[in-house]
A and B are shown apart, each in its own frame.
Chain A
Amino acid sequence: MIYTYSFYGFFFFILIGAALSIIFNKKDRLSTSASFISAAIASIFGIIFSLSVIFGETFDLALPGSLFFNFGFSVDRLSAFFILVISVSVFAVSIYSVGYMREYFGKKNIGYLGFLYNIFILSMILVVSANNAIMFLIVWELMSVISYFLVVYEHEKPETRKAGFIYIVMTHIGTGFILLSFLILAGGSGGFGFEGFRASGSTMPPLYKDLAFLFALIGFGAKAGIVPLHIWLPYAHPAAPSNVSALMSGVMIKTAIYMLIRVFFDFLGAGVLWWGFLVLAAGAISAILGIMYAIVEPDIKRMLAFSSIENIGIILLGLGASMIFYANGSPALSAIAAIAALYHLFNHSVFKGLLFMGAGSIIFSTHTKNIEKLGGLIKKMPMMAILFLTGVLSISALPPFSGFVSEWLTFQSLLLSFSSGDSLVRIVLPASAAVLALTGALAAFCFLKAFGIGFLALPRSEHAEHAKDANGPMLLGMGIFAVLSILLGILPVYVIPFLDRITGTFTGESAIDKSISSDYFGTIIMPASQISMSTPSLLVFMLILLSIPLVILFLSGKKQGTVYETWGCGQPVSTARNEYTGTALSKPVQIWFKNLYRPVRELRATYSVSPLIKQSFKFESRIGQVFENHLYIPVTGYILSKSRMIKFIQTGSIHAYLAYIFGTLVILFMFVILGGK
């Protein structure tokens, strides 16, 4: 009973929120409260619903009156987990939005955003609970289109409109591939119901299975942001309002991961080894490239968008490892890797939501996204700075915060491949663990830069000088996520068995029962390999380690040296212009990986009278757009040149168009007359 009530409760409140925000359209304050508080209430129902499914039975609901297709909802534990992730994010982000929307009061149409926001949440929930391919595609498109409108909310800026265009093109390319994949699956099962896909997907001929796998990987990969299909993220996420980017980056791209798990494990049976390797490779490339682009990015929201690509990569590393173990016939290991992937997915939705909300607060009070123009925010917005720091520590995978646990689990599952019989697996998986290690180090560096340059030292501009701390609802929304990311970091002992209930449904094995135990400190202990690590004990160890220099300092008794400003390089800094900058900090990385970044440097001088007398210099340095220049421009160029070849049929003459119809009609007539059936 609780299923049905909470399910309908969710729909009721989300629709009420959408309706009220339109009704109160002209009253900014009322409209904001109505729409976002409704969304928050709806998300509580979503949490109740998902928990009751995870600890109870699968929920099925057939929609009445569907004449051609059997539309309906089917929520198993996997779907319920994603509903949980979405609902938790929506809850915190909605509370945050109540405060954040004040930014737009009097400037923009608030009711419009509130309406789209609620419908967007609705569409995400529908995406993870649809049980029919046609219905899925409809709600998937709804999600894409609504998120497009949210991205172009500030459409008066030309770059926002262009960002929206890139997003909608990429997402439709993705949908095209998803459609192909579903058509292959539907060809196998003779219907569009997911039930049928499940029954016949694994018995299709190998070629069809491979094609369905590849198309699904490309299609959903475009939404998830797998390199090289990632190009829309760095444009769309910064363009959207920050509460929307928190949801888009935190949960919308995760719906693609949901469908990847659904298609690979549930429909296709995941029995093919090279699929796992491909997913693993995609994950490794996305992780390393995502974070490397994030490091050199001065725009804080773009940096977070690149970091989302990295985190999707880490999730895919776990998923790929899980698929490899599954194909190799070790379901217990597969379950551990899947737990790692889902754990990281949940963590990422929490800390990335937190960081995007933090970025929103920065924009809210300083009106700039450029890290180079910030500085000193820890004194101007102390509460916000602490919350942001929590997110930074989580995403940098430092214990005892949440990012550490899930990345550590991913490491463990990759390194557990030593027990595998297949030598290729024994080589490739540890190699990807090495990539993950590099990624983690670079991520820590990246967020060191973000926090160090943005929050410490002296304010670097007028904007940062007059910053004020975020308002109550914003701090509350961020606080929920901050607490959650600490809890997820220190309580894996409860989280892992919880996730085990979910992964057990698609890997077919419970990791907890089978020779793997999770001790009180959240350690995975394999009797065979004895690899273990516990977060809280590690924390104690680190505290002891850190206190040694302090103790030595204390014992030596003398306090030497002078205290200068942070980033002042030991010089008596008087202005912010003398400080170390973010670009300077990331310069070494840019030099090491010059071949990847392909930096563009230009020095232009203007002179008066004679070239010998220079008037001014202008220096510009930026990162080359490798994927745009070397992949997308050649491909689009090729398509355009081929399209031009058939352009002659577009004459612009009405008569010619009518003649096409007429000719087709006559040919069809002849076909019928000559006995075509």
Chain B
Amino acid sequence: MEEIVFGSGIMQLLIALILVSTFMILGSTRLYSCVRAFGMQSFLLACVAGIVAFSTGKTDIYIVAFLTLAIKAALIPYIFIYIIREIKVKREIDLYVNISPSLIIGGILVVISYYLIRSINLITELSSFALSASMSLVSIGLFIMISRKKAIMQMLGILIMENGLFLGAISLTYGMPLLVELGIFFDVLIGVLIMGILIFRINRTFETIDTDMLKTLIG
């Protein structure tokens, strides 16, 4: 049954769409569209969880799917938009790496992830597709943190990494114990709140949230 879940056409489509949403974040220069793409990614993730729940018949995974929808697809994007509006930041993203090289690097990372998962061959051919997508999400999330200057994008990058980990976890285990999942959700939510507060602080102290300016702490 497990193979049916991750091998099914709809699942493949969803995972591919998650990757596409990641590339939308990578290819966008506007903060709002990045947040929107992230919301879409989280929504797709909730769908994945929903399908897993439907085919395994476990009720806790329904709860997980619902929480993903509520927290990651709705609440966190709302917090983002609130922060952007409140600190009146310029809506454009400053980049270290331009859009087109970013996209190319993203593509390379996906290929590397795919080969990486292939080479460890610990599971079947079909669910390794989900796993390699999750690996791509983690590495692209990290890459976004590196290549974008605004502190908000660092926050977004770490959330993309978290989504990647979620996808990996669900494709390997078909749902972790509910308690663990709840802990992770709580963690992410608190993390976002703290990072949001920090961004406010950075903005107040330095008049900018450009992390390029935070270089004075070297010894």
Contact = CB atoms under 8 A, between A and B. Distances in A.
- Chain B interface size band reads 20 to 34
Given A655-B147, A658-B142, A665-B139, A672 B215 contact: no
A659 B96 CA distance: 12
Interface stretch (A181-189, A203-211, A646-654): A646-654
Contacts of A666: 109, 112, 139
**Does more than half of chain B's interface fall in helix, strand or loop, or is it mixed?**
helix
B116 A673 contact: yes
B211 A654 contact: yes
B145 A652 contact: no
Nearest to B144: A658
A652 B218 contact: yes
Nearest to B116: A669
A658 B215 contact: no
Contacts of B214: 652-654
A483 interface: no
A654 B146 CA distance: 8
Contacts of A659: 146
A665 B141 CA distance: 13
Contacts of A564: none
**Interface size for chain A: under 10, 10 to 19, 20 to 34, or 35 or more residues?**
10 to 19
A672 B120 CA distance: 8
A670 to B, nearest CB: 7
Contacts of B211: 653-655
B115 A673 contact: yes
A593 B28 CA distance: 78
Contacts of A557: none
B69 to A, nearest CB: 30
Contacts of A669: 112-113, 116, 139
A669 B113 CA distance: 8
Contacts of A494: none
Interface in B127-173: 139, 142-143, 145-147, 149, 154
Contacts of A672: 116, 119-120
Nearest to B108: A666
A633 interface: no
Nearest to A674: B119
B218 A655 contact: no
B217 A662 contact: no
A670 B216 contact: no
Interface of A: 650-655, 658-659, 661-662, 665-666, 669-670, 672-673, 675
Contacts, number: 50
Contacts of A673: 112, 115-116, 119
Interface of B: 96, 109, 112-113, 115-116, 119-120, 139, 142-143, 145-147, 149, 154, 211-212, 214-219
B217 A652 contact: yes
Given A662-B142, A669-B112, A650 B219 contact: yes
The 7 closest A-B pairs by CB, nearest first: A652-B215, A652-B218, A658-B146, A673-B115, A659-B146, A673-B119, A669-B116
A652 B218 CA distance: 5
B3 to A, nearest CB: 24
Contacts of A655: 96, 145-147, 149, 211-212
Given A658-B145, A662-B146, A673-B116, 12 more contacts: A652-B216, A652-B217, A654-B154, A654-B214, A655-B149, A658-B142, A658-B146, A659-B146, A665-B142, A666-B109, A666-B139, A673-B115
Max chain B CB contacts within 10 Å: which of A650, A652, A675?
A: A652
Nearest to B211: A654
Contacts of B215: 651-653
B170 to A, nearest CB: 22
Residue among B139, B146, B211 with max Cβ neighbours from chain A (10 Å) = B146
A655 B210 CA distance: 11
A661 B145 CA distance: 11
Contacts of A670: 112
B215 to A, nearest CB: 4
28 contacts: A650-B219, A651-B215, A652-B214, A652-B216, A652-B217, A652-B218, A653-B211, A653-B212, A655-B145, A655-B147, A655-B212, A659-B146, A662-B139, A662-B142, A662-B143, A662-B146, A665-B139, A665-B142, A666-B139, A669-B112, A670-B112, A672-B119, A672-B120, A673-B112, A673-B115, A673-B116, A673-B119, A675-B119
A654 B142 CA distance: 12
A662 B144 CA distance: 11
B136 to A, nearest CB: 11
Contacts of A658: 142, 145-146
